[in-house]
Amino acid sequence: MLMRPDGLNSAPARFGLPLWAQPIALGPYLLPNRVFAAPMAGVTDRPFRVLARRFGAGHAVSEMVTTKRELWDSLKTSRRADHTGEPGPIAVQIAGVDPVEMADAARYNVERGAQIIDINMGCPAKKVCNVWAGSALMQDEPRALAIVRAVVQACAPLGVPVTLKMRTGWCATARNALALALGAQDAGVALVTIHGRTREQGYSGQAEYDTIAQVKAALSIPVVANGDITSPHKALAVLQATGADAVMVGRAAQGRPWIFREIHHFLATGQLLAPPLVAEVRRALLAHLHEHHALYGPVVGVRSARKHIGWYVSGLPDGDALRRAINTVQDEHEQIDRVAAYLDTLAQRGDRLPVAAAPEAAEVFPT
């Protein structure tokens, strides 16, 4: 059994919990914990966000929605703006280049149920950056801050808090997250998330946390640390190194949505949770597939569910064989039946999901 890690006991204990296990305020909302689900286009759709919250995510941000009005009626955007049955507060991320259009997009999404608007200045995707949106905006601070001001001005009368997600900068020689975060705070942003990589890095190399620590030290609004948080130990190490108010988890939650409760539990108690029961994973995965098929329809839904199934079974016994088999299945019911049969067989090997032991803090976050 693990000892309670250093730093947990010394945090001020409101609600009888260590600081990083306490709820956190975001505008008028009190988020239940400090482990957030990152927005990932093509991944964190409504079924995924609902699941992430069921498994303990304190906050979940939608995939980005474009500001291009002509695309709002497209199937893709209307699916992204559909929040039916999603527990609140509903946070929608918008991406664009023009302050007026961004303000319009914010209002459009608030009308459709958004309770928090997140501005994307973190996405490195070419189709976003070539039109000066996403992380490209970090190169043009005046424009970036004009966007932030316009969105805050649109949202403030509606009582909707605005958050900002960015990288550390455009490239190693232009790490301007601090200047932008300060400007955004002055403009009225309620929370800033920083992915510890520059735009130039894409997803390569390792996230660095010094810039996040600098931003946290300078800001009075909450700062969320993001990038390469893959385990409870790593989450704690990043929180200790940065002093950030919360962590945001992206890729490590793909096929492993229970990571949110694992991290929260560790931050609250210093203990690692046992892996989930296979029966619980079965219930969650089948519900995920049903909701996924319902959102996308049988043809697109069966195809786009394959990546999720692949992530869930990655590293599990005979997982590769299931993934290969699933890639040839075209029918939604057959897809669900095959996954159910696989998990029934897995349950015969043991009650709990077989997973590799979590690495120790020193291995995950070399000092």
Q: Please give the positions annotated as active site.
A: 123
Of the pair 22, 93, the CB lying nearest ligand FMN is at 93
Phi, psi of 252 (to 5 degrees): -70, -10
Contact of 115 with 91, CB cutoff 8 Å: yes
Of the pair 102, 343, the CB lying nearest ligand FMN is at 102
Phi, psi of 175 (to 5 degrees): -90, 90
Give the interface size with ligand FMN as a residue count (CB under 6 A): 22
Which segments of 210-297 are extended strands (E)? Answer: 223-226, 246-249
* DSSP state at residue 297: -
Beta bridge partners of 21: none
Contact of 244 with 223, CB cutoff 8 Å: yes
Of the pair 40, 295, the CB lying nearest ligand FMN is at 40
**Token output for 337:** 């039946």
Of the pair 298, 304, the CB lying nearest ligand FMN is at 304
Residue from 155, 249, 267, 316 binding ligand FMN (CB under 6 A): 249
- Interface with ligand FMN includes 68 (CB under 6 A)? no
Query: Nearest 5°: CA angle at 72, between 288 and 301?
Result: 25
Residue from 252, 284, 286, 300 binding ligand FMN (CB under 6 A): 252
Q: Which span sits near ligand FMN by CB under 6 A: 168-176, 181-189, 213-221, 250-258? A: 250-258
Measured distance CA(90)–CA(270) in Å, rounded: 30
CA dihedral sign, ordered 262, 242, 25, 97: negative
Contact of 309 with 323, CB cutoff 8 Å: yes
Q: Which span sits near ligand FMN by CB under 6 A: 5-13, 48-56, 155-163, 245-253? A: 245-253
Site map 325..354 versus ligand FMN, x via CB under 6 A: ------------------------------
Q: How far is the CB of 43 from ligand FMN (least distance, A)?
A: 5
- Interface with ligand FMN includes 131 (CB under 6 A)? no
Please give the single-letter amino acid code of residue 328. T
Residue from 66, 120, 214, 240 binding ligand FMN (CB under 6 A): 120
Q: How far is the CB of 324 from ligand FMN (least distance, A)?
A: 22
Of the pair 108, 342, the CB lying nearest ligand FMN is at 108
Site map 214..233 versus ligand FMN, x via CB under 6 A: ------------xxxx----
- Interface with ligand FMN includes 93 (CB under 6 A)? yes
Q: Are strands 246-249 and 223-226 parallel, antiparallel or unpaired?
A: parallel
| CA-wise closest residue to 160 among 103, 212, 205 | 103
187-206: contacts with ligand FMN (CB under 6 A)? 195
Measured distance CA(172)–CA(270) in Å, rounded: 35
262-281: contacts with ligand FMN (CB under 6 A)? none
Measured distance CA(117)–CA(163) in Å, rounded: 6
Place of tokens 């709002």: 72
Site map 34..63 versus ligand FMN, x via CB under 6 A: ----xxxxxx-------------------x
Contact of 327 with 200, CB cutoff 8 Å: no
Q: How far is the CB of 311 from ligand FMN (least distance, A)?
A: 11
Site for ligand FMN, rule CB under 6 A: 38-43, 63-64, 93, 120, 122-123, 165, 195, 226-229, 249-252
